[in-house]
Amino acid sequence: MSTIRFEHIGNTFRHDLAAGMTMAVMVVPQAMAYSLLAGLPPIYGLYTCLLPMIVYAFFGSSRHVTTGSTALISLLVFNALSNVAEPFSSDYINAAFCLSFMVGVILILGWILRLGVLTKFISRTVIVGFVAAIGVLIFISQLGSLLGISVPGNLTIFERIAYIFNASSSYNTLSLMIGAVSFLFMFFVKRTKRTLPYALVVVVLGILCSYLIGWELDGLRVVGDIPGGLPSFLFPNIDNGVIVTLLPYALVLSLLIYVQDFAIAKTLALDDGTYEIKPNRELLGLGLANLTVSMFQGYPAAASLTRSAVNYEAGAKSGMSSVYAASVIALVLLFLAPLFYHLPITILASIVMISVIRLVDFKQVLRIFHFSKWEFLILMITFLTTLFWKVQYGLLIGIIISLFYRVPQWLKFVGNELPWKRALFIKNNGTYQLTSPLFFLNNETLEKELVALSRQLSTGEEIHISNPKKLPVDYSANCIVEKFVDAGIKIKKN
């Protein structure tokens, strides 16, 4: 069932409209910046947000998740497409549409085969390491635009840093100053006045100053002509060679898009407490969103953590908030696209850079270090593999290593029983005991059982779950347990 109930639209209109307008203020500058990160003209970022926001709203199971272009997926798209064509070329743009089509097909096949269970195989530790590496890669990828120089696309991190360093004589001082000031302004505002749409502010000021002062004449790179109007239907030109090259990337992208969406959707649903996330419905919603956008000139779309969180905090009650936000994007495309001609590229680079700072979660890295040295080692292997080798392999290697580490422990304590089908607690003489190791493999079961236990508690009452067999508890499970401490549930981990 869709999160949009037509008989309730009138009741939720005020809340959803306010949330949609708040979200739209963020999405326009972000979408244009992320499109450049993906190696595409800014207009395609707006196309990528327009229809996926609407399609997911009708077919996904979250009331608060909103989809479109994101920094993480944009970098992965750039890495994938750089293997088949030159960024910003017509072949590259067509390959982006093909990649969206492939991701859509893979996700829909996942829905048909009911592969929602795949989220169980990825630990929080692996995700933290992978996302942190992506954050570093994205930040470094924007240095060229910030400095006003062109950097070749398909370079390793070492090659990119060396190229930027060796091109010091070509730095554009004006570009660096504008980008640095924009970055510092957004950083300060983000820390002090969270409600101010800082990205939109720097975009508007950047356009006005560029137009009035004539920065383009001083050698500053600007966005240039942006075609107005809504995206037209254009089926991707499928090339067998391109499909073969992009298939490994499409598989990794599909997995990451789903895992990222499920984590965001699950978190917001738990906070809201009035609905549940259906894993396979998420595969359908994301698959249809990507299949649709591939035919309307967009690149792979994913759930946005920042925009979904803003949507939730702004009071959205249904997926209609995303529909209203998409309507604003449509109006921008129809009537305001020419106004972005004078927008400095360095400002878009600073928007991307300020957006990805949060991807490197130092607090969580330190927590993992203190929690388990083995899990910290897995995090670092995932981080370094992603950063210095192949992005598409970093996540897979992290998953494989974490499974090799945890599965033998499971077999030692429990045997061959599937982790997600085993009861985790038993009640013995009025007390609860842990009967199974708590690993990322049974996180969903853990969450369900803790929710059930919390509903049995009266105000001020507590349940202490003992662990007489000293069964292991990993970091992913520990994070879930901590969320229920305030509800009165505590588990001894040793």
Residue linked to tokens 């909103």: 66
Give the mean pLDDT of the chain: 88
- The reported pLDDT for the residue numbered 321 is 92
Q: Which two tokens stand for residue 471?
A: 């069964």
The pLDDT confidence band at residue 269, using thresholds 50, 70 and 90, is confident
The runs of H, that is alpha helices, within 295-390 are 305-313, 320-331, 345-356, 362-371, 373-388
- Say whether pLDDT at 114 is over 80: yes
Rounded Cα gap, residues 90 and 88, in angstroms: 7
- Say whether pLDDT at 494 is over 60: no
Paired residues of 426 in beta bridges: 433
Q: Which two tokens stand for residue 467?
A: 């662990």
- The reported pLDDT for the residue numbered 4 is 59
The pLDDT confidence band at residue 488, using thresholds 50, 70 and 90, is low
Contacts for 115 with CB less than 8 Å, ≥ 6 apart = 109, 280, 283
Burial label for 17, CB within 10 Å (0-12, 13-18, 19+), is: middle
Residues 357-391: b if buried by 16+ CB within 10 A, e if exposed: eebbbeebbebbeebbeebbebbbbbbebbbeeeb
Q: Which two tokens stand for residue 89?
A: 């070329």
Q: Which two tokens stand for residue 313?
A: 């905090």
Q: Does residue 57 contact residue 63 with C-beta atoms inside 8 Å?
A: no
Rounded Cα gap, residues 414 and 370, in angstroms: 27
Q: Does residue 8 contact residue 113 with C-beta atoms inside 8 Å?
A: no
- The reported pLDDT for the residue numbered 36 is 93
Q: What percent of the chain has pLDDT over 70?
A: 95
Note the pLDDT tens digit of each residue in 334-354: 999 999 999 999 999 999 999
DSSP state of 214: T
E-assigned strands of 343-493?
425-428, 431-434, 463-466, 489-491
Rounded Cα gap, residues 404 and 84, in angstroms: 34
- Say whether pLDDT at 418 is over 60: yes
Note the pLDDT tens digit of each residue in 358-415: 888 899 999 999 999 999 999 999 999 999 987 878 888 999 999 999 888 888 888 7
Residue whose C-alpha is closest to residue 256's, from 133, 362, 375: 133
Rounded Cα gap, residues 186 and 178, in angstroms: 12
Rounded Cα gap, residues 377 and 214, in angstroms: 52
In three-state secondary structure terms, 350 is helix
Question: In 10 A of CB 112, how many CB atoms?
Answer: 12
- Tell me the mean pLDDT in the region 479-486: 80
Residue ranges covered by each domain of the chain: 6-358, 419-491
Paired residues of 463 in beta bridges: 489
The dihedrals phi and psi of 35, each to the nearest 5 degrees, come to: -65, -40
**What kind and span of H or E run contains 67?**
strand 67-68
Rounded Cα gap, residues 57 and 318, in angstroms: 8
- Say whether pLDDT at 128 is over 80: yes
- Say whether pLDDT at 279 is over 70: yes
Could you give the strand order of the β-sheet that contains 425-428, starting from the edge strand earlier in sequence? 425-428, 431-434, 463-466, 489-491
Contacts for 366 with CB less than 8 Å, ≥ 6 apart = none
Residue whose C-alpha is closest to residue 146's, from 171, 122, 110: 171
Residue whose C-alpha is closest to residue 236's, from 427, 15, 81: 81
